[in-house]
Amino acid sequence: MDIIVKKNFKHLSGEIEIPSDKSISHRAVILASLAKGKSVIKNFSSAKDPLSSVGVCKNLGVDIELNDNTLTVNSNGTFIKPEADLYCGNSGTTMRLMSGILAGQDFSSVLKGDASLSKRPMKRIITPLSLMGAKISSENNHAPLEIEGTSLHGINYALPIASAQVKSCILLAGLFAHGETICTEKTPSRNHTEIMLQSMGADIVIHNNSIKIKKSTLEPLHTEICGDISSTAYFLVAGLIVPNSKITIKNVGLNPTRTGIIDVIKQMNGDIKILNKRELNSEPAGDIEVCYSPELKGIEINGEIIPRLIDEIPVIAVLATQCNGCTIIKDAQDLRSKESDRIKTIVTELKKLGANIQETPDGMIIQGKTELYGDCEVECYSDHRLAMSLYTAGLICKKEILIKNFEWVNISFPEFWGLFNKLM
C-alpha cells in the first residue's frame, strides 16, 4: 500500500491514547505461557510482532485467547513439541527470546522468520546459549534456527553490546539451567523482562548492571500494559515541528530505560511536559504534552543514552532537520542490524526530501534548520519505523510525498495513520 502525505491541515491538536507497549506485550504472553495457571493481560498490543509471539506460544501447546485487547493465557507451565516449524514473522524479539526458552526444553524445534528477519544477526544469542550447552544450528548465524533441546547450565556472561533481546534470551534460558546464570551489561538496556520476572516470583536478583537468575517456577501474570513510548515518539516529534501544534498523549510508559527521547527533546529546547505520573503494574507511566517549538537547537547524542532511544533514532533524525545548528549521533552502529540498515536508509530517504544529512560509520550528522521540500517518492525498505519516520517528515514538507509499501507500519502500529488523522 502506497500513501501520499501532504500538508492539507492547519496544525495538529488534541488528545490521543497510544496503543499498548510492544516490548512489554511480547514478554507478557511469553512469560504467562511459562506460568502454571490463568493469566490475564489487559491492553495487549494488536501489532503483528506481538501476535507472532502469541502464535508461537499457541503452537507450543498453550491455550491463549485474545478478546478486545485482553489476552487470557491458560497454561500448565510447560511447552509441548510443536507439530511444525515456529514462525516468528518479522519479530526479532519473538525469535531471540523464544530461543532461550526452547534451548532448555526436552524436544527439538525450528524457529523461522520472514525474509527481513532471516537477514538479522543471531550470533549474538547463539554464542551465549552455546556457552550454556545449547545445541543450535543455523545458516551462517541467521534464521532459521534449529534448536535441539538439551540440559543447560548457568554461565556468567558480560554482554558485548547493549541489547535487551540478548539479555532477555539469556535470562529466560537461565530459568531452565542448572546453577546460577549471571548476565552483566555495561550500559543499561530496557528492563521489562526483569521487572516482569520479579513480579511473577522468579528467583532473580538485580544489583546495579548485573542480574542473577536461577531455575524458577513462575506465578500467573495479571497486568495491564501501558502505552508504547516508541510509538509515541512520532507524535512527539510531529507536535514539536508542525507549526502551532499542541498534542497530549495519554497513558505512555515512562520506564527510564526507554525515555532517552524525552531527554533529547529537553536538551534540544523542545516544549514538553510530563503530566499525571503514576505506576502501572511496576512500570512508570504518565501523560505527555508537546507544543510546537520553533527554537530547537542541535545537540550531540552518544554514549549511554543510545540504548535508551535506539528505536527512535530515525525520527530523531527528522527532528534534527528542524533544529538550529548541527546534531551529531554517534555510537549507534547497532542500527545497521535492524529491520533495515537504519543509518543508511534514513539518511538516503531524508536526503530525497532536502535534508542536509550525512552518514557516518556509527551514526549520522544533520545540519539544520532545513526546509524539507518533498515532491518525491520515498522507500521504507520493509521497515516499519522508517515508514513512520518518513510520514512524520512528510507533515512539514512543502509538497506532498509518496511512501511506498506503507503497510509495513502494521508490524508495530496499525493504528498509526488513524491517530494522526484524529489530530488534523
311 as an active site residue: the answer is yes
CA–CA gap between residue 419 and residue 391 (Å, rounded): 13
CA–CA gap between residue 86 and residue 83 (Å, rounded): 9
Phi-psi region of 39 (alpha: psi -120 to 50; beta: other; left: phi over 0): beta
CB-CB contact of 262 with 284 (8 Å): no
CA 36: distance to chain centroid?
28
Active-site option among 49, 228, 287, 311: 311
Tell me if the bond preceding 369 is cis, omega within 30° of 0. Answer: yes
Please spell the DSSP secondary structure of 20-64, one letter per residue: BPHHHHHHHHHHHHHSEEEEEEES---SHHHHHHHHHHHHTT-EE
The neighbouring-strand residues paired with 360 are 363
The neighbouring-strand residues paired with 272 are 290
Q: How many CA atoms lie within 13 A of 409 on its CB side?
A: 24
List phi, psi (to 5°) of 380. Answer: -105, -5
Q: How many CA atoms lie within 13 A of 80 on its CB side?
A: 9
Q: How many CA atoms lie within 13 A of 346 on its CB side?
A: 37
CA atoms 59, 40, 192, 286: torsion sign: positive
Please name the amino acid found at residue 117: L
Tell me if the bond preceding 144 is cis, omega within 30° of 0. Answer: yes
Q: How many CA atoms lie within 13 A of 164 on its CB side?
A: 23
CA–CA gap between residue 363 and residue 332 (Å, rounded): 5
Q: Which of 402, 404, 407, 422 is nearest to 5 (CA)?
A: 402
Q: What is the largest CA-CA distance in the chain?
A: 62
Phi-psi region of 37 (alpha: psi -120 to 50; beta: other; left: phi over 0): left
Q: Active-site positions?
A: 311
